[in-house]
Structure 1
Amino acid sequence: MPLTLSKTKLMAYISCPEKFRLRYGLRLKPLRDDPALIEGRAIHHLVESGLMYRDAIEDVLPVANMRFWESTPFETCGYDTIEDYQHAQTRCLSDSIKFLELIGPMPILAVEKDIQVPLTHPFTGEVWDSITIRGLIDLVSETESGPAVIDIKTVGRTPSMKMAAISSELALYAYLLAYPDYWDARPVEVAFLNLIRTKEPKITYDKAVLGLDEFENIVTTCRQVAASIKLGHFWKNPGMQCGWCSYKSLCHGDKQTAVNMLGEYAWEFYQMTKDVVAYQQLSPTLNPHDQAA
């Protein structure tokens, strides 16, 4: 069975191999989603809907907002009260309208474009059939030089660093968009569209142009990550990323928080698989290669 590396899986392993194991090996998930993540998804959905149907924004956005929250009931969310949950719905709609005003007209070729290809070396054309690369691109926009990648980020403050030129996720998206004619393909324009949820919402663009060198680097990264996963190499990588990780209570031994967030089963299962030998004995019954994003 080919190993499928989505953008989300690749970034999870790069940030912390143990996080990858918990999410995609043991398939542990929080009982309730973090409100910040929920609202980020909601605004993604509304902004994309507004860009696709700009001529009918006033009709489309309220319906899109209603449908998103219908699919995200209160019981699955980490809000303290139903009032907080309802307030989030109102604010997400209001913020999205303001973001769309700031973005203005944008020629959109595709929204949530799903591309899945076998890993292919951009210089030699060598194909690794055992590794499939998948990406779900937020926006593909039309520019004078061709299709461009735009990845939407919802953040609480203006980013302090320019990241587009060195971003593995944008390199992966550009690589997928250029497939399979890398030699003949033009460099791909990419950008992070930062939706900044300050008191007065604002946006910034972080732009770059990526080509063959970046494609070769992302292929090397994918090969190394795939090899490590297949060998069962998982280790903790403590750092700033722990601050927003759903599994930090497991790694840090905080049983009460882990049970509250992930359930008693998750805590007990994690204890069974903490050491490499135990995990390898259980791993034939697990499937770290599932297709989840």
Structure 2
Amino acid sequence: MSIGTRSTVLQRRLHIAERIRQQGQVRVDALARECGISTVTIRADLAYLEDQGLAIRTSGGARATGAVRHGARDAQCPLSTPQHRAMAMIAARLARPPMTVLLGPGTLPALLPPYLPPAPDLNIVVTSLDALPAARQHGGGQVHLLGGQCHPDRPDIDGPAAIRALALHDIDLFVLETAWIARTGLALHANASLPLHQAAARAARATASLLDAGRHGASTPPCAVLLQATDFLITADRPDTPSPFLLADLGFAPAPPSGDPARLYARSRARSADAARPPSTRKDTQDVGAPVT
């Protein structure tokens, strides 16, 4: 009799796993109705599937493993302008003078300059011509354009010369734009330079990733280096954002400030912006790398 019970449980869990794979995301109450069992049992099934790497639990349901993205939904529901601004504002609050902030390529990093503190000892390095005008207008300190190759079909600067140019700047905070997150790493949008992003993430004392999951399109494979070097993750506040369970497993926890349209997550072992500085030049530990409240 016990063998039969195990077989029934196994078949049900395989059915649920297949449903998650097909639909991308499922709800506990819907599965309970479909299988004719209690929501408590369904939650136990989802916990088992997550332990086996077959699902990622979310609030009220579960989603497929791998990338946290839903192509059809993303194509229909891009991030709104208020969500973009809220994410940029949260990222800008991570910049505390005296700092040098490197703005990576992409739409979201280019939105930061108006929200950065207008301090003379806050320097900005841009990797895109799109970000240069705003950085020059709103920056209080020095503004640098990273040296390197400028592509004829987009405003980004990269290439071997750009990677070498990173050594000319003492980078405290690197702000980059990513397409999606998985357990195996962070993925960039299509055409973004992975070597440049990897080099910048290694060079910076702290890295903040703006997750632009609402922009549908091709992307690079997930890169573990980017994930390991990411100290702060900023997402829009919407149903298809990464699962809290996934982010917790990756070492991220909610951190203030959290605006209504966006959320900030900090890695528990985050490298603060001043953590790598010599003790004689560090600021007070309570004022280092922390968001402005």
User: Greater Rg, structure 1 or structure 2?
Assistant: 2
Give the structure with the higher percent helix.
1
TM range, smaller chain? under 0.3
